[in-house]
Amino acid sequence: MLACVAICVINCGPTKAADPKSLNPEILDIANSWGHIKFEEEDTARQQKEIAALAERASALMKKYPGRAEPVIWKGVLLSEGASMANEDHSMFTARSLAYEARDTLLEAEKIDPAALEAGAPASLGVLYYRVPSFPIGFGDTELARKYLEEAVRNAPNGMDANYFYGDFLYNQGDYAGAQRVWKHALTIPVNTERPVWDKARRQVIQENLAKLAAKGN
């Protein structure tokens, strides 16, 4: 559980600011909790509930560490995840609301630091822009998706998610050679031992996608 921010009592003086160094393990805990929920939890109702609770933890970190991009990025990622789950559950109004909130949150994070968490903000924005339907249903925009995903791989050339999602975008645009190039590079990135569940899942999907491309003759 997140440590509670100390409440100042009478005559105690100003509240001591949170140590920025303590943010990293708290962010890592959120990342690994998300990995468990997304890749290991099989009950969809429980997934949605746990993702919402994790988003609240990210909100608490935003208050604890104002001005830091990392908790803002994770708030946006978790809202986006919630939108995806609501869409699969046919809760279209909830999915749309969460998607817009995720976009606005990630735009805020991107302004703070577009390179933070291996370009987590632009990578996640790119995903939203190519997966959300376009106007009038949503705000999907292929060109903006490309812009943010290219920004992500520039800022984090060895970022797993930046490469994974850029490859996925290229694949869905019919650029199979480009997707293959990006995904092959992703597999050369050293394994992230601090986030084993997520790392394994991403590599598995990339390998499966490369096998599909090979079957197509690419």
Q: What is the DSSP letter of 140?
A: B
Report the pLDDT value the prediction gives residue 19, as an integer from 0 to 100.
64
pLDDT of residue 13: 36
The CA distance from 54 to 74, in Å, is 9
**CATH no. for 24-216:** 1.25.40.920
Can you state the percent helix, strand and coil of the chain, rounding each to 5? 70, 0, 25
For residue 199, the model assigns a pLDDT of 98
User: What pLDDT shows up at residue 133?
Assistant: 92
51 burial type by CB count under 10 A (0-12 exposed, 13-18 middle, 19+ buried): buried
In DSSP terms, which residues pair with 140 in a beta bridge?
A: 134
Say what the pLDDT of residue 216 is. 82
Three-state DSSP state, 134: strand
Query: CA torsion angle for 172, 175, 180, 182 (degrees, to 10)?
Result: -80
**What are the boundaries of each domain within the chain?**
24-216
**Residue 18, pLDDT score:** 62
Residue 20 is predicted with a pLDDT of 63
Residues of the chain with pLDDT under 50: 1-17
Tell me phi and psi for residue 155, to 5 degrees.
-75, -25
